[in-house]
Amino acid sequence: MTGRDQIIAALSGVVTPGCILTDSGDMQRYLTDWRRQFHGKAACVVRPSSTGEVADILRCCAEMNVAVVPHGGNTGLAGGAIPDDSAGQVVISLERMNRIRALDATALLIEAEAGVILQTAQEAARAAGRKLPVSIASEGSATIGGIVATNAGGLNVLRYGMTRDLVLGLEVVLADGTIVNGMRKLRKNNAGQDWKQLFIGTEGSLGLVTAAVLRLVPKPRHRAVAMVSVESVDQAVSLLDMALTSVGETLTAFELLSASALAHVKRHFGKEAPIRQGNWFLLIEAASSLSGLDRAFEDLMTTAFEQALATDGVVAASEAQANALWALREHITEAESRAGYSMKHDVSLPLRSIASFIEEFGMALDAIDPHAAPNVFGHLGDGNLHVNVILSDTAKAQVIMQTVHDLVATRGGSISAEHGLGQYRLDEWMRLTPRAERELVGLLKRTLDPRAILNPGKAVPGNE
């Protein structure tokens, strides 16, 4: 292994000295994630300010066989941006590459460097009368490079898709320092192999994303928000079907919240749903350039009551009411963290198997640890559940995780709907993924990263 001093000396030769952090205090914020679940050490942290500098760093590290760990806004939930504890890896923070290079409201696209904060890009889009439709809790810190590298999901996937669906162009630096410039400002390009797809969602394990061209969408001018309480997940699925038929493409969110998730919100923040409680709550949002959504939501609600699909419900009569309903959803994660140490599972399931999954999961958890409290919520419209568990006994964490994932795998689901594998779920992915798929993914990793220096141990299996 190359020694720390040697690494720092070599890197000092290729980047300006101010780029390199070596002091342990200075490095600290790059070595632990925001939830303090993952901790690592690094030889140093490098903060390049241009694509050329990123290429120089990679070429230098490749020569020394030193691994690099790209680092964005540090808001990931799977430890993808945190180095291992060998103190032999180099963290590359893209934070200084923070320029919005271009924005075209008519062509509906924005061109931004990896370090641009998502919220900054959203605001630029909004100022131009358009919308960058990635909406995640961490948008004030998450970066463009980070959302591309993790293929971030969020609250609007039902309508606008994952980050992958927004990526029109990418600039990438390969393991050997080669810059591949695919920053085409085109909404449509079907010229052979779309190689940029490989670098989306792979957390820097195949190459480093230094800039992206992202698709914008028109800004809807009207929205409607409703909250409904239902007795069962089956009723929720029936309501989803009904909403797809009546308000269709205008749906932007169809969120499922368990009564217990909202009970935590009430306990810790004093916020409460303005409707009678069922076993489950639904938060439904639609948005359009056309008016008439409130009326459509009222009609939907009436039909739901007539067909005995809902216990109670309300359509927000003002923006303030709409925001108050959303605040219930947005406080779930924080309330959960105040309730105790929680494990997060981020699964997706075929829609029809969600009810059976939740039932079996409840029974299984009860058998493993009757004191553990499930906290289930998620994006029902996408089949994405956050199956979190507030633990009483951390010794049970591993068996609980495997149990959840086994229940998901037998139903053809995914153990990572939107958070990514990172370092947290890679072993589980290896355990549950069929061999042909593992080998294909491994083959591509070895091809693009023959020295295994690109964020090893994250997102995809390595050379071992």
Which residues inside 101-120 make contact with a copy of itself, applying CB under 8 A?
Answer: 104-108
Q: In the window 291-320, what residues touch a copy of itself (CB under 8 A)?
A: 291-293, 296
User: Which span (19-27, 325-333, 355-363, 431-439) binds a copy of itself, by CB under 8 A?
Assistant: 431-439
d(CA 410, CA 398): 18
CB 392 within 8 A of CB 380: no
Q: Say how many residues touch a copy of itself, by CB under 8 A.
A: 100
Give, as ranges, the residues between 432 and 461 that touch a copy of itself (CB under 8 A).
433-434, 436-437, 439-441, 443-445, 447-448, 459-460
In the chain, how many H helices and how many E strands?
15, 19
Position 262, amino acid? L
* 351 is an interface residue for a copy of itself by CB under 8 A: yes
The distance of closest approach from Cβ of residue 138 to a copy of itself in the complex, given in angstroms and rounded to an integer, is 16
| Minimal distance, residue 243 CB to a copy of itself, in Å | 9
What is the C-alpha radius of gyration for the chain, rounded to an integer number of angstroms? 23
Q: Among 35, 184, 266, 268, which residue sits at the site for a copy of itself (rule: CB under 8 A)?
A: 184
d(CA 217, CA 436): 38
Q: Shortest Cβ distance from residue 247 to a copy of itself (Å)?
A: 5
CB of 209 to a copy of itself, least distance (A): 14
Structure tokens at 225: 């928000």
Residue in 162, 233, 261, 316 binding a copy of itself, rule: CB under 8 A: 162
Residue (of 361, 356, 396) closest to 376 by Cα position: 361
Residue 127 interacting with a copy of itself (CB under 8 A): no
Residues 373/259, Cβ–Cβ less than 8 Å: no
Q: Which amino acid is at 229?
A: S
The interface with a copy of itself within residues 3-62 (CB under 8 A) comprises none
The answer to whether 393 contacts a copy of itself (rule: CB under 8 A) is no
Report the residue from 53, 425, 449, 457 that binds a copy of itself according to the rule CB under 8 A: 425
Q: Does 388 bind a copy of itself (CB under 8 A)?
A: no
* Residues 6 or more apart in contact with residue 163 via CB below 8 angstroms: 134, 147, 148, 150, 151, 152, 153, 200, 201, 214
- Which tokens go with 213? 């061209």
Q: How far is the CB of 84 from a copy of itself (least distance, A)?
A: 18
Closest CA to 282 of 222, 337, 242: 242
Compute how many other C-beta atoms are within 10 angstroms of the C-beta atom of residue 424.
22
**Binding marks (x or -) toward a copy of itself, 217..256, rule CB under 8 A?**
xxxxx---------------x--xx--xxxxxxxx-----
